[in-house]
Amino acid sequence: MAKSSLKWVAVGLGAALAVGGCGSTGAAKAEQDPKATLELWTRTTPGGDGEKGMKKLAAAFEQATGQKIEVTAIFDDFETKLSQRAAQKDLPDIVMNDSSQLGTMVTQGIVREVDPAAVKHSDQLLESALAAAKSGDGKMYGVPYSAQASALLIRKDWRAKVGLPAPTDREQFVALAKAFTTKDPDGNGKNDTAGLAVPGSTKRGYASWYFSNFLWGAGGDFITKQADGKYKPSMSTPESVAATKWFRDLACTEKVVQPGAATMDTPPTNETFEAGKAGMYVVGPYLMPRFDGSLGKDKYEVVPLPKGAKDATVLAEGGSAYLMAGSANEAGQNAWASYIISPEAQKLGMEGEKAFNVQLPVNKTVDVTSVRKDPRWKVYADVYREHSRYAPSIPNWTPVRQASADTVNALIADCSLDVAAELTKLDGKLAESLKQQGIGAS
């Protein structure tokens, strides 16, 4: 979904945050101490490469600014622990979390508004990353520091075996998937390969997350923003219905998706690809170090996902630095935000061979090839800059993602269901969710 330290999660801190009284509006500003040590939480596994990389950035920040900063890595029960600190009116100064969590964290009132004028280098942020840092009111509440987008991984050795080109349109994509499924590309004499690896589980909305890469390129959408800033559900539009039917047919008609896809989240789907059970996989760059080790980089290639009926738009994701409400050192918060998007930090965060803290740079002056000479990274960088979009910054994207995942999952699990009818039902659920969030179009 995102790199291992940044999963799509439903934060759901609920009432405890309201009790915390640390909201971004209406709360008294804490007495300031510009020398106070900053407490930074990063959502990653303690002791892992993600924590080591963040500590490397923190050490460089301290050396550059003289500002002390302490890094705490938390993965399990991250939301619960953040809720507890909010209830104590003692939030950490900075939280490094998914960019997709912006709407939720703003709604909970635990982050403060970012003043771009106080964050050096903010004028160098890519427009797409900057847009993802803004809530529906146009105000900035996060500082993006890392990005990623989806591209297509293909077993290059299998493609040579079946004698087909890397696909440049959806027809070629399906043809290659069918060849990988039916022509024994691994040469073991068994009918045990699939064309496409799909994490189709409802868990954390994986089915919707994966499907977005195919939906948007076909001109469809989950929800659509109106001229008045409100949203209406869009899964029963002709474009979305056509996109869903096409995707569903991969499993039900063409039968090129791996067995059990409807029950798989990303870990078993990753294993399906690296174990030689599927020949294509749409995913971000964070898995390349793993697959280079398990498969060998000579065994697969990275290409842009073929254009759909409209274009080649795929999902963009990333990480943001959130400046938490109630901090006694807002100057230090701004200093960290300024540093993490600086060209120096962006390059430092890309260094290494695994668990990069910066997947793709968000500073438009930084060229990924200045650090990574592997041309596959440039493919990802170009896709991000030219053919990607983030999920909308609405108060809570999670219920939209989950409801649509439930429907997509049901459609690939039960081939007898009527696609248009199920999507019409889904739009009803989405309309209710949007209404509850106060952003539904009338």
Confidence of residue 347 (pLDDT cuts 50, 70, 90): very high
Collapsing DSSP to helix, strand or coil, 351 comes out as: coil
- Counting runs of H as helices and runs of E as strands, what totals does the chain give? 16, 12
Residues 363-420 have pLDDT tens digits of: 999 999 999 999 999 999 999 999 999 999 999 999 999 999 999 999 999 999 999 9
147/98 Cα distance (integer angstroms): 10
199/145 Cα distance (integer angstroms): 27
Collapsing DSSP to helix, strand or coil, 232 comes out as: strand
Residues 14-71 have pLDDT tens digits of: 433 433 334 444 456 789 999 999 999 999 999 998 999 999 999 999 999 999 999 9
Domains of the chain: 15-149+316-389 (3.40.190.10), 152-315+396-436 (3.40.190.10)
126/259 Cα distance (integer angstroms): 40
364/128 Cα distance (integer angstroms): 11
H-type helices in 88-237, by residue range?
A: 102-108, 127-132, 156-162, 170-182, 206-215
CA torsion 366→367→368→374, rounded to 10°?
-160
Average pLDDT over residues 87-108: 94
Residues 144-154 have pLDDT tens digits of: 999 999 999 99
Q: Which two tokens stand for residue 311?
A: 């274009």
Q: Which two tokens stand for residue 20?
A: 């915390």
Task: State the pTM of this model.
Answer: 0.91
Report the chain's mean pLDDT, rounded to a whole number.
93
Tokens 């539009």 map to which residue?
237
Question: What is the amino acid identity at position 222?
Answer: F
